[in-house]
Structure 1
Amino acid sequence: MIRFSILACVCLVINTVIVSAQQVFKLYEGRPKGSESWTWNEGTSTNKEVVYNVSEATLTAYLPPKEAANGTAVIVAPGGAFHILSINNEGVDVAKWLNSKGIAAFVLKYRVVHSLTDDPVKELMPKMQDFKKLDEENAPVIPLAMADGLTAVNYVRDHAKGLNIDPQKIGFMGFSAGGTLTMSVVYNATDKNRPNFVAPIYAYEPAVIGSTIPTAKTPIFIVVAGDDQLNMMPMSISIYKKWFDAGQPAELHIYEKGGHGFGMRKQNLPVDTWYERFGDWLSFQGFMKTPESRH
């Protein structure tokens, strides 16, 4: 009995190490088009919550144990006004939850505006007071971020077999600016790099590139808070209506409270479990097996 317990503990440790070891995939060889002259190095805030000065787009893979994988994959794009990436709250923590449901997750670091200091959040805050100027500053970078998103879908689909993924069950979700990126990706995709489903979470619509809704079935899941300080709620309704009017499967959740940027944070509010509704929706759409269907 003691020998069995020790063996079980060793197996648990080995499994934990395997699950926690993430692979990082570069999306391009060398400097990608549009940022050939970028010489700055990527930085991470002291609390490891924010990444900035991304000049080389990457995917960090979070893969569930092979026996638990259901074949679905989701590319996750953190938000941060195209200046920073909220890498944990809107990236890694999301990926870990997806893994718990048997879904492979890929956190996307896409190219963002160059920060001039080592305190990118402090640098960004004054810019958030004037969205017109912020949009103008972001305008040259958003097409580059979109290219990173489309390349990410290509990468996951091209490597699906080796990653234990169904190439027709690849989703793209993003938060705030990542939601802008999500919509830009799906509007500009070809058959090869179009996500099979999308989930813009409190997306910023004015900066979205394009407006062509796919003719191929592409379900959308939208979440926002009614008290979003950046007024993203009407934008989410706008996206939902466009999808609904096009006859595409669409689901919209508006929580009374939650603010902007809630991500995976706990606030003791109903919005805290938005991702469980996402799980319900994934099951309904056939992208996540329910416990009953696994037997």
Structure 2
Amino acid sequence: MIILLTSSAQSHAQSVEKYQISPALEQIPLWSHSMPDASGSRETEIINAKGSVTNVSNPRLIIHKPKNPNGTAILVISGGGYAHIELGKESTPAANWLQSEGITAFELIYRLPQENWKSTNVPFEDAQRAVRIIRSLAKNYGIDPNKIGVLGFSAGGHLAGFTAAQPNKTLYMPIDDIDALSARPDFAGLIYPVISMLPPNNKTHSKKSILGENPSTEQEAAFSVEKQVDGNMPDTFITQAADDPISLVDNSFLMYSAIRKVNVPAEIHIFQTGGHGWGLGKKGSPVTSWPSLFKNWAQNNGFWK
């Protein structure tokens, strides 16, 4: 399904005076030992007043547990061009909303590729590990292991899409029994996603963070999510604004086309205005309807009670 929603509303920035991760929220490290591609001592993690994270040394899950879990879990992944992680305006508000809807939300703090790791694969390693950990904890949190989704924004949409498209790609050597579990999400939501790293969509900060300034065409293709899609891709929801200046809307069309070619169910919603980086949506903008559209889609496909 393709739906074009129109509005002349203009987006506006919202300031955040203070940000901190609530001490009441449980946090689970992704790697209690043998972190792949680790290197040396790390600088102290920084979370600024707007909830932007850098210097990640302890990749982990922040768990938002609902009072009455409905059996669905969603891994929520912020963007930030793989240079920082926008918890404050993306994953935390989304996780809080999902929690209020009965979904167990797992907010991902992942390693950033340009922070002196041995490989730029580290965010992809972390995302795979995160899905496996959630699946391993299904009984503990009242989760149906067949209703584990992933929801990603911007670069987080790239990370979510890559994980959904390539769950079996060997990115690290197994360290425990958790790594025997599937890293495949059962459904995926891609919100104003970065998808392609091939021309003409290879101008994003995400591409530079992962591949540097002058990668080969083969390297660009290897990290272009639309080129990784096969029939094992989970059902996917995509939404973006046509006037997105950061990740051109063609990214969403490329992803939708690739998914449909392998006969996997997909739904796409394109808003005529909205720009980029809207999180749950900005007051007065048509993009504020995406959470209800995503919920309806997930309910209609049996992922959300």
Q: TM-score range by the shorter chain?
A: 0.7 to 0.9
The one-character-per-residue Cα deviations of 1:6-50 (angstroms, maximum 9, x if unpaired) are xxxxxxxxxxxxx983100000024621122251121011x2421
Q: Which residue of 1 aligns with 2:148?
A: 170
Q: Which residue of 2 aligns with 1:219?
A: 235
Which structure is richer in relative contact order (CA contacts within 8 A, separation 6 or more)? 2
Task: After TM superposition, give the deviation of residue 53 of structure 1 in Å.
Answer: 1.1
Of residues 27, 30, 34 in structure 1, which corresponds to 2:30? 27
User: CA 1:60–1:85 in structure 2 vs 1: closer, same or farther (change >3 Å)?
Assistant: same
The structure that is helix-richer by fraction is 1
Task: After TM superposition, give the deviation of residue 88 of structure 1 in Å.
Answer: 2.0
Letter in 2 for 1:84: H
Stretches of structure 1 lacking an aligned partner (at least 5 in a row)? 1-18, 116-136, 290-295
Q: Which residue of 1 aligns with 2:73?
A: 73
Task: After TM superposition, give the deviation of residue 74 of structure 1 in Å.
Answer: 0.3
User: CA 1:202–1:138 in structure 2 vs 1: closer, same or farther (change >3 Å)?
Assistant: farther
User: CA 1:138–1:228 in structure 2 vs 1: closer, same or farther (change >3 Å)?
Assistant: farther
Q: Which residue of 2 aligns with 1:270?
A: 286
Structure index of larger Rg = 1
Rounded Cα–Cα distance in structure 1 between residues aligned with 2:123 and 2:271: 29
Task: After TM superposition, give the deviation of residue 105 of structure 1 in Å.
Answer: 0.3
Of residues 185, 191, 195 in structure 2, which corresponds to 1:201? 191
| Residue 252, structure 1, aligned to residue 272, structure 2 | no
Q: RMSD of the TM alignment (CA)? A: 2.3
Letter in 1 for 2:62: T
Q: Which residue of 2 aligns with 1:293?
A: none
| Residue 182, structure 1, aligned to residue 160, structure 2 | yes
The one-character-per-residue Cα deviations of 1:272-293 (angstroms, maximum 9, x if unpaired) are 121111111111111112xxxx
Task: After TM superposition, give the deviation of residue 183 of structure 1 in Å.
Answer: 1.5
Dislocated runs of 4+, deviation >6 Å: none
Equivalent residues in 2 for 1:107-126, closer than 5 Å: 107-113=107-113
Q: Which residue of 1 aligns with 2:245?
A: 229
Rounded Cα–Cα distance in structure 2 between residues aligned with 1:213 and 1:114: 26
Task: After TM superposition, give the deviation of residue 214 of structure 1 in Å.
Answer: 4.5
Equivalent residues in 2 for 1:139-158, closer than 5 Å: 140-141=119-120, 143-158=121-136
Rounded Cα–Cα distance in structure 1 between residues aligned with 2:279 and 2:50: 16
